[in-house]
Chains A and B, each alone.
Chain A
Amino acid sequence: MVLFLTGHYPIVHVFCNSVDSTSTSRSDRSAHAAKTPYAMSSDNVSTSTEFSPELRVLRDSNKEEPQLLPKESVQDMAKDVTYICPYIGALRGTLTVTNYRLFFRCMDREPAFVLDLPLGVVSRVEKIGGASSRGEVSYGLVCKDIRNLRFAHKQMEDSLRKSIFEILMKFAFPVSNGLPIFAFEYGQVYPENGWKVYDAQAEYKRQGIPNESWRITKVNDHYEVCDTYPSNLVVPVNIPDEELKRVAAFRAKGRIPVLSWIHPESQATVTRCSQPMVGVNGKRSKDDEKYLQAIMDANAQSHKLFIFDARPSVNAAANKMKGGGYESEDAYQNAELVFLDIHNIHVMRESLRKLKEVVYPNIEESHWLSNLESTHWLEHIKLILAGALRIADKVESGKTSVVVHCSDGWDRTAQLTSLAMLMLDGHYRTIRGFQVLLEKEWLSFGHRFQLRIGHGDKNHTDADRSPVFLQFIDCVWQITRQFPAAFEFNEYFLVTILDHMYSCLFGTFMCNSEQQRVKEELPKKTVSLWAYINSQLEEFTNPLYVNYSNHVLFPVVSMRHLELWVGYYIRWNPRMRPQEPVHQRYKELLAKRAELQKRVEELQRDVTNRSASSTERAGSPTRSITPVQTFV
């Protein structure tokens, strides 16, 4: 209750001391319920139970300290710290820093105010100005999840004592301070081992691979051909491993074209790779040309191959100066090259910075839409979606195989292939399927999460940081908005993934590649986010989901249908409380249906008991126990 009355629902947390996973689920549920408060008709049976966990949090929050996770320990605590809330104003309370989180609590207010965030979301801590006239020092926390926090406290009289913010800096940036990331300490046990969610061979088998045209090669078993690729790679049957190595020499970072997805009927494929090392002199590689021809030949339906280069053509051309470039249509005879005009990670980072300025902490009343447009954020989203749509269209409608690449093939390429696969294959729209999609296209194919997010690293100006994955999730959200019944997961699922990408609680998004993850023994030493999510699927399930698995989704990529994701970017603003009335109403109806069904069954039992011998109107009551099916 506390959380939602103050309008500050902190990042979702797993408050629990015990191994008992139900308590995990309950406190999490409360945080979720806090986001979608509602008052409904009294005949909803589930209402009271829905709200009870919140009372639990209320009780918990009467303590000054947070409930700690396993292996979490309080590092410092300071009283009389002021949190300058952009919505409520200055709040005085107690600040606690643990090796995992920052916890601020203001007892003066009724209900109490709580701020609870994992240190992993902190991007930078800066001391603002010197000591003020009131003898206070002020600190600003810039967070990765589109908010800034500001604290102030009295100047320490004892100059030897460290400020709590120095302790905070230490634990917010463990990597820079030679400390372990909390994910390596957190030892929560979940019923399921999330690291087993993705099994590359099983996923390829689901797609029907190996088959007469494609095989799984072991050439990269020890990550020797390409250290940023997974060990299992799918390549055309008639290209032997030796040739693969020669192709790797012609592709940036050795990222050869490999299969991501195959159409179950037409056999058209989505393959991904990095740019060819063409250079200024227009170097060619017979092996690479033969290889792409083999990809095309593997699909009997089409005598063409589309190469989608995610970059703007100018940038692709500029890459020739550095030895890279793009496939010339002269060298690749049956290929058609298309540039998708998606900009690089630096442009995206800048765009998000501007977006944050526009939405946090408050939205300027006038010219909201013009301001939004000036960030170009949705324009980038549109271009990415448009690119993925063209890929999906070529594969589905054109029955043509496609090759997708950008420069290195781990940012824009991952966005494009995974979005296209989401459009093409209903399996990826289920909760588990989506986990597989992320594990496959993003994690195993080496999207550099560690560099792009900068887990535990204080170097916030690092040019390698970029919201590439956030953009992808935003694109997914846009598609779920257009097809509200086509996805098994809900918005909360997407938000949770993003929150825990930053939180450093789970090992899932650690490291840059499969090779590093194996080396760091992540599956052994950390918990997977999927273990947590799959332990309480109901929280993340879209009740409106209709499983039309053979259905290709073609989202509309017009600005008219794109919207800023308020539930993520503006969720800290208490005025923009997200609403899910449809889901709520639907759940109510489900409850109502269950209740009525029970009553009908009871009545029927009564009827059969009373008149064991049949009456003139018999037939109907006994047979209509499950009228439900008639509509479905």
Chain B
Amino acid sequence: MLSSLGSVGGKSAKPSFVSYVTPEEIKSEKEPSRKEKHPDLLPGEVVFCSASTVLKYTQDDLSQRGVFGALLCTNFRVSFVSDEAPTEEMVRTLFKNKLYGENDIPLSCVDNIYGDKRKLITGGLVKNKYPSKIIIHCKDLRVFQFSLSFSKEEDAKKIFQGIVHHCLEPKSLRCLFAFSYCENTSYPGSYSYCREHLRKKQTVMFDSVEDWTQDMKRTKGNCRVVSENSNFELSPKLPQYFIVPTNVSDEDLTKYQGKGLPMWCWSHHSGCALFKTASIPLVQEDNVCCRMLTAVAHNHLYSVKTEDLSDTLPTVQDILLSYNKFKQFFLIDNTTEFWMSDMKWFSSLDNCGWLDIIRQCLQKAVEVVESLEKENTNVLIMEEGGSDLCCVVSSLVQLMLDPYYRTLLGFQSLVQKEWVAGGHAFLDRSNHLHLKDKVESQSPVFLLFLECVWQLQQQHGPAFQFSETYLTVLSDSVHVPVFTTFLFNNDSHRDSLLRAESPHTQRSPLNCPTVWDWSVQFDCKAQDLFTNPLYTEKPKQDTSVRKSYRPRHLRQLSLPSSAFKTPPKKGFFKDEADNLKKILGVKRLSRWMLSPSSDSPQTSSSVREFYEAWQTKPLDYHGLLLPCLDGPSIRVWMQRYLRWIHDVQILGGGPVAMLSKVSEILGEVQELQRQLDRHGCTLTSNHKGARPRAKTAAAVIAARSSVRLSSSFPFVTSRNWSFKPAIPTSLLQSLMVTGIPGNLADREDDGGPESLV
């Protein structure tokens, strides 16, 4: 009796996978149209197979109702085309991706496929059988559930095998959609126009000597641009163009296939710089290692710190393992499962370690920032390969130190510089090709970087010109196999493939869009959501400068002073250089070579002090930014991970409620500014000065303020949702009581211990 009273919520918590719609019901309900349905195919897109009368479950519904339609597999995507005519509201979805819709899954976005009884399906295993129900987990965290039991057996078998084949089995790079897409679009033309445009004012691609020279000049670096590898003669593993310390000789360049070459990343205004390198194989260690270190040290004050990231940060495998656990929390098949997992949410989150990995990367970056900013020493970070955690750490360091990289174009240039030109093996890390021998190398390193950026952005919103939505979209775009940005392992790989695939023989390589050509995916209005309304422009007085231009006394302010007991390391001078060489000769690089006293715990406490000293100074959004690394400050990227889960959508709330208000008033301010300009014109009778009406995100959001927005804005619109709150459905109490000490739970609310029941 009691138990039945115990929880009314339990009524809805019954196992939910029982109430299939029977075929008879379908007939009476709706005659599925026999006509073949297609999505609007993209240029170069070909349908491989299809099945009609497939039921797509609406996952946000306990009753397991669904929509009938056709399921197709093309060379680009798995697509579900509903039999129901789209309502007008659905047509004008706000944040529509031009390449794929809400019921499309690009093939490389498929993460895992499950069959009946949630059995994981692997390629090659299936012959004649097919499951009645398939669940597709996507890399952008969507979950699709399809029932094949109402389709013709032949169709069902075909579509199942097709999907499995194209999503899970090994294929060659040339089969990726990008190649047929680019061959078949008129895009190359407009693209080359865009490229010209990019050259002038936009994302710096770092595919020319000029780009590198300019970036070095911008940061006042004093290193050597290497163009000897423009045809990959030095090494196909090295970038086409790169920068090394001036002391690196031509001989060194050719000798070691790039390994151990210190590559310049960024110069601090004090003159010291950040370099990264791939670790050197043990045999060759002594000689090269020493010469390279000396070369780096020569850059500024003969000082250098080295940091082997392989020793101190998780490996790419650790990262993958942790992320695989983490993502499971968000790939929700049904509501009951969701509320069950809600109870142990915090400890599960803790145990998967993902937030901790983010924290470690940020912490490492802060350590490097400290060396550059406080001690003014050169820093050389290294790891095997030199293009994974080196990219994460070096990019984060630059984001913290250099406000240029916190602008939208600056950030894109940073990704080009450190990741694309920097030779991050995007193809191997994403394993789009499902190659068996590459399974080991798969790892979401770039996503880890975006996660770290998101943390910084959460903590210091007004410092970033781009929005959270921008980062989320960027993380999704990695799995859309159209952009050259994410399809290759390095420059030479990209160059050789694009050249080989070009229809115009050897002349010009195939022109494919980069991810930065956002108009390929989104129209202008949607792109407005990429900018952060909280961003405060740099004060006008010093638009063209970095921090070096700040007056002396201001700089002192931003530097921690009395809080530090240890005086800044001075580096060492000529006669001490021999000493260094001796150390090097004897030992493999130890961490933080010049301050051997600072081992791990001390480093971390030093970072704490560095943070605290920075924190007591007034915050300058255009100066140095440091993240708070304490437990409560490192958070889950809600927008990315929770956007598809119906039960956690906050209707009428979420950050958008706040941002739309800010956008609104920003729009008003801009409007007033325009009026002022116009008046100025009237007064001086100069009509040319009137600025064209700039598009703002304000307009976009404000225009929709009448619509009920939710916390998953702009990814999901609230049209389908009933206005009913999600009420937790689980046996909350029974589990919790176990955690309550003694018999407190049984006590009466009033009176002392004698009234124990």
Contact B630 A363 (CB under 8 A): yes
Known contacts A386-B732, A463-B752, A624-B675, then 17 further A-B pairs from the complex at CB < 8 Å, ordered by chain A residue: A314-B2, A319-B757, A322-B755, A344-B745, A365-B630, A373-B345, A379-B343, A554-B725, A555-B650, A556-B649, A556-B650, A557-B728, A558-B726, A560-B642, A596-B673, A600-B672, A631-B667
How far is A347 from B736 in the complex, measured between Cα atoms in Å?
A: 11
Which residues of chain B from 641 to 669 have a CB within 8 Å of any chain A CB?
642, 647-655, 657-659, 661-662, 664-669
Q: Mark A256-271, 1 if CB is under 8 A from B, else 0.
A: 0000000000000000
Q: At the interface with chain A, which of B27-35, B143-151, B317-325, B614-622?
A: B614-622
Answer whether residue A156 sits at the interface, using C-beta atoms and an 8 A cutoff: no
Which residues of chain B from 621 to 650 have a CB within 8 Å of any chain A CB?
621, 628, 630-633, 635-636, 638, 642, 647-650
Contact of B749 among A344, A370, A624 (CB under 8 A): A344
Given contacts A564-B632, A581-B462, A586-B661, contact A345 B749 (CB under 8 A): yes
Given contacts A341-B733, A575-B611, contact A484 B744 (CB under 8 A): no
Contact A318 B657 (CB under 8 A): no
The smallest C-beta distance from B746 to any residue of chain A, in angstroms, reads: 7
The smallest C-beta distance from A488 to any residue of chain B, in angstroms, reads: 13
Answer whether residue A539 sits at the interface, using C-beta atoms and an 8 A cutoff: no
Contact B745 A581 (CB under 8 A): no
Contacts of A596 in B (CB 8 A): 669, 672-673, 676
Contact B631 A365 (CB under 8 A): yes
Contact of B676 among A317, A368, A600 (CB under 8 A): A600
Contact B537 A411 (CB under 8 A): no
Contact B536 A41 (CB under 8 A): yes
The smallest C-beta distance from B605 to any residue of chain A, in angstroms, reads: 11
- In the complex, residue of chain A having the shortest beta-carbon distance to the beta carbon of B699: A631
How far is A556 from B651 in the complex, measured between Cα atoms in Å?
A: 9
Answer whether residue B523 sits at the interface, using C-beta atoms and an 8 A cutoff: no
Answer whether residue A160 sits at the interface, using C-beta atoms and an 8 A cutoff: no
Contact of A344 among B339, B541, B616, B747 (CB under 8 A): B747
Q: At the interface with chain B, which of A13-21, A199-207, A235-243, A601-609?
A: A601-609
How far is A120 from B638 in the complex, measured between Cα atoms in Å?
A: 39
- In the complex, residue of chain B having the shortest beta-carbon distance to the beta carbon of A312: B733
The smallest C-beta distance from B723 to any residue of chain A, in angstroms, reads: 7
Answer whether residue B351 sits at the interface, using C-beta atoms and an 8 A cutoff: yes
Which residues of chain A from 341 to 398 have a CB within 8 Å of any chain B CB?
341, 343-347, 350, 363-370, 372-374, 376, 378-379, 382-383, 386, 389-390, 392-393, 397
Contacts of B666 in A (CB 8 A): 589
Contact A586 B618 (CB under 8 A): no
- In the complex, residue of chain A having the shortest beta-carbon distance to the beta carbon of B726: A556
Answer whether residue A632 sits at the interface, using C-beta atoms and an 8 A cutoff: yes
Contact B736 A561 (CB under 8 A): no
How far is A579 from B628 in the complex, measured between Cα atoms in Å?
A: 12
Contacts of A566 in B (CB 8 A): 632
Contacts of A366 in B (CB 8 A): 356
The smallest C-beta distance from A38 to any residue of chain B, in angstroms, reads: 6
Answer whether residue B753 sits at the interface, using C-beta atoms and an 8 A cutoff: yes
Contact B669 A621 (CB under 8 A): no
How far is A386 from B8 in the complex, measured between Cα atoms in Å?
A: 13
Contact B616 A575 (CB under 8 A): no
Q: Interface extent on A, as a size class?
A: 35 or more
Contacts of A604 in B (CB 8 A): 679
Given contacts A363-B630, A575-B611, A590-B665, contact A627 B757 (CB under 8 A): no
Q: Interface centre among B342, B355, B608, B750, by most A CB within 10 Å?
A: B750
Contact A38 B618 (CB under 8 A): yes
Contact A579 B459 (CB under 8 A): yes
Which residues of chain A from 7 to 38 have a CB within 8 Å of any chain B CB?
7, 37-38
How far is A554 from B750 in the complex, measured between Cα atoms in Å?
A: 32
- In the complex, residue of chain A having the shortest beta-carbon distance to the beta carbon of B731: A341
Answer whether residue B7 sits at the interface, using C-beta atoms and an 8 A cutoff: yes
- In the complex, residue of chain B having the shortest beta-carbon distance to the beta carbon of A592: B669
Contact A368 B632 (CB under 8 A): yes
Q: List 15 A-B contacts (CB under 8 A).
A: A315-B745, A329-B5, A363-B632, A365-B630, A369-B349, A554-B725, A556-B726, A558-B726, A575-B611, A577-B628, A589-B665, A590-B665, A593-B668, A596-B676, A628-B668
How far is A586 from B666 in the complex, measured between Cα atoms in Å?
A: 9
Answer whether residue B440 sits at the interface, using C-beta atoms and an 8 A cutoff: no
Answer whether residue A559 sits at the interface, using C-beta atoms and an 8 A cutoff: yes
Closest 7 CB pairs of A and B: A368-B631, A39-B618, A554-B725, A596-B672, A373-B346, A559-B345, A369-B350
Contact A389 B727 (CB under 8 A): yes
Contacts of A556 in B (CB 8 A): 647-650, 711, 725-726
Contacts of A365 in B (CB 8 A): 630-631
Contact A627 B672 (CB under 8 A): yes
Contact of A627 among B355, B611, B671 (CB under 8 A): B671
Answer whether residue B153 sits at the interface, using C-beta atoms and an 8 A cutoff: no
Q: Interface centre among B462, B631, B633, by most A CB within 10 Å?
A: B631
Contact B648 A561 (CB under 8 A): yes
Answer whether residue B436 sits at the interface, using C-beta atoms and an 8 A cutoff: no
Contact B672 A339 (CB under 8 A): no
Given contacts A576-B632, A596-B669, A600-B672, contact A585 B462 (CB under 8 A): yes
- In the complex, residue of chain B having the shortest beta-carbon distance to the beta carbon of A5: B616
Q: Mark A382-420, 1 if CB is under 8 A from B, else 0.
A: 110010011011000100000000111001000000000
Answer whether residue A338 sits at the interface, using C-beta atoms and an 8 A cutoff: yes
How far is A411 from B726 in the complex, measured between Cα atoms in Å?
A: 25
Q: Mark B521-562, 1 if CB is under 8 A from A, else 0.
A: 000000000000010111101000000000000000000000
**Interface size (B, Cβ < 8 Å)?**
106
Contact B346 A407 (CB under 8 A): no
How far is A247 from B733 in the complex, measured between Cα atoms in Å?
A: 32
What total count of A-B pairs have CB within 8 Å?
Answer: 289
Which residues of chain A from 203 to 250 have a CB within 8 Å of any chain B CB?
none
Answer whether residue B460 sits at the interface, using C-beta atoms and an 8 A cutoff: yes
Contact of A397 among B461, B630, B661, B723 (CB under 8 A): B723
- In the complex, residue of chain A having the shortest beta-carbon distance to the beta carbon of B540: A43
Answer whether residue B209 sits at the interface, using C-beta atoms and an 8 A cutoff: no
Answer whether residue B596 sits at the interface, using C-beta atoms and an 8 A cutoff: no
Answer whether residue B692 sits at the interface, using C-beta atoms and an 8 A cutoff: no
Given contacts A38-B618, A318-B746, A369-B347, contact A575 B2 (CB under 8 A): no
Contacts of B567 in A (CB 8 A): none
Contact B669 A593 (CB under 8 A): yes
Answer whether residue B344 sits at the interface, using C-beta atoms and an 8 A cutoff: yes
Contact B657 A483 (CB under 8 A): yes
Contacts of A406 in B (CB 8 A): 749
Contacts of B673 in A (CB 8 A): 596
Contact of B683 among A363, A464, A606, A628 (CB under 8 A): A606
Given contacts A482-B654, A581-B462, contact A318 B750 (CB under 8 A): no
Given contacts A339-B7, A617-B682, contact A586 B662 (CB under 8 A): yes
Contacts of A367 in B (CB 8 A): 350
The smallest C-beta distance from A264 to any residue of chain B, in angstroms, reads: 17
Given contacts A322-B757, A347-B744, A408-B749, contact A632 B725 (CB under 8 A): no
Contacts of A133 in B (CB 8 A): none
How far is A145 from B341 in the complex, measured between Cα atoms in Å?
A: 32
Answer whether residue A179 sits at the interface, using C-beta atoms and an 8 A cutoff: no
Q: Mark B1-33, 1 if CB is under 8 A from A, else 0.
A: 011011111000000000000000000000000
Q: Mark B719-757, 1 if CB is under 8 A from A, else 0.
A: 000011111100011001101110011111111110101
Contact B676 A376 (CB under 8 A): no
The smallest C-beta distance from B171 to any residue of chain A, in angstroms, reads: 37
How far is A42 from B343 in the complex, measured between Cα atoms in Å?
A: 47
Contacts of B647 in A (CB 8 A): 556, 558
The smallest C-beta distance from A379 to any residue of chain B, in angstroms, reads: 6
The smallest C-beta distance from A51 to any residue of chain B, in angstroms, reads: 10
Contact B632 A570 (CB under 8 A): yes
Contact B679 A42 (CB under 8 A): no
Contact B664 A631 (CB under 8 A): yes
- In the complex, residue of chain A having the shortest beta-carbon distance to the beta carbon of B645: A560
Answer whether residue B612 sits at the interface, using C-beta atoms and an 8 A cutoff: yes
Contact of A411 among B659, B733, B749 (CB under 8 A): B749
